[in-house]
Amino acid sequence: MSRAELKTINARLEAGTPQDTLNWVDETFGSEAAQMSSFGLEDQALYHMYWTINPNARLMTLDTLRLPTETYSLFDQTKLRYGVEVEFFYPDMSAVTDMVKERGNNLFYRGVENRKLCCGIRKVEPLGRALSGLHAWITGLRRDQGMDRGSIDIVEWDEAHGNHKVNPLANWSFEQVRDFVDANEIPYNELHDQGYPSLGCAPCTRAVEPGEDIRAGRWWWESDPNAKECGIHTVVPAQR
């Protein structure tokens, strides 16, 4: 799609609903599209919408091997609810072994460089494998999550992976997501009820305090709030 075509599509989808966007994805890309889920609240809401449109909608996730127990439990609950075979992608174990041998299990607490190395091995590299061959991937990103996410379009060209990245919830608030999950009795991670609006690996995520940014619990020991990304959602400025 050309830049002009993307601009036209985005203008139309901005005026619609997330379901309109998912319908467009399904009609345009079919089985060559998949949702990449972290099994957070946004992702659970999205997959419910996607599955309602297409009961064979593909669902992928990255298992870093260090996720919270509650997230692993939600994998099973989601599979039972929707009858979906979740496509799991794992880190390369030889790379993990070498990293741990050289820098330790909890290297990420000792500097951003170490943390990004760990994220790269456990998330970024497996994501590249997962997206290989896909024409589009669907995410739960929202503009009000802060940082560079405030500039995302609903449909973007993902230069890093050579496909389209689709953010159906871009213009939704956290409250809208929560209301949708509650209204449809969608299974969700119980950590959300314990002060965790954003979920990641167990040792890298804590609950947030009242008034804190929703991503303050991610890599909380790092001082730069703009560095709180793992690398899988590197944002390219929107073309308008």
Opening angle at CA 129, ends 217 and 141, nearest 5:
35
According to DSSP, the β-strands at 155-158 and 163-166 are: antiparallel
| Banded model confidence at residue 216, pLDDT cuts 50, 70, 90 | confident
pLDDT of residue 215: 80
Percent of the chain with pLDDT over 70: 91
Task: Report the range of poorest mean pLDDT among 64-68, 153-157, 180-184, 229-233.
Answer: 229-233
Phi, psi of 162, deg, nearest 5: 65, 35
Which H/E stretch holds residue 51?
helix 41-53
User: From CA 222, how far away is CA 204, in angstroms rounded?
Assistant: 10
| pLDDT for 106 beyond 60 | yes
- The number of angstroms, rounded, from the C-alpha of 189 to the middle of its chain's C-alpha atoms is 14
**Mean pLDDT across the stretch 39-44?**
97
- Give the side-chain half-sphere CA count within 13 A for 128: 12
Helices (H) and strands (E) in the chain, counts: 8, 6
Mark whether 230 is an active-site residue.
yes
How confident is the prediction for the chain on average, in pLDDT?
92
Identify the residue with better confidence: 144 or 236: 144
Q: Per residue in 67-97, pLDDT tens?
A: 999 999 999 999 999 999 999 999 999 999 9
Lowest mean pLDDT among 94-98, 124-128, 234-238: 234-238
> What are the residues whose beta carbons fall under 8 Å from the beta carbon of 160, sequence distance 6 or more?
234
- Interval 2-31: pLDDT, tens: 889 999 999 999 999 999 999 999 999 999
**In the chain, where the domains are located:** 3-89+123-227
CATH class label, 3-89+123-227: alpha beta
Residue 50 pLDDT class (50, 70, 90 cuts)? very high
Q: Choose the catalytic residue: 118, 119, 201, 230.
A: 230
pTM summary value: 0.90
